[in-house]
Amino acid sequence: MASVSEINYQLIPWFGFVQNCMKSAESEGASNTYEQLKDKYLEIKAILQSNGVNMTGIDKLGLNS
């Protein structure tokens, strides 16, 4: 089983990627894609927060559920 550090190491880049995709989807008016990405964003954010990651520097969107 992966350690918390390994999980965070893998999820932090994905978190940034999802945020960038969300920005693109929003600017292109792709609302369905945006909503699907938002679900994934919230899932990853919840995991990172529960693992004690400080979200201040990495959460560009600041969305809550």
Statement: residue 44 has pLDDT above 90: yes
What residues contact 45, with CB distance under 8 A and at least 6 apart?
Answer: 15, 55, 59, 63
Domain coordinates in residue numbering, the chain:
4-50
Q: Using H for helix, E for strand and C for coil, what is the string for 1-65?
A: CCCHHHHHHHHHHHHHHHHHHHHHHHHCCCHHHHHHHHHHHHHHHHHHHHCCCCCCCCCCCCCCC
pTM of the model: 0.91
pLDDT at residue 64 in the model = 86
Statement: residue 31 has pLDDT above 90: yes
Q: Tell me what the mean pLDDT of segment 14-20 comes to.
A: 98
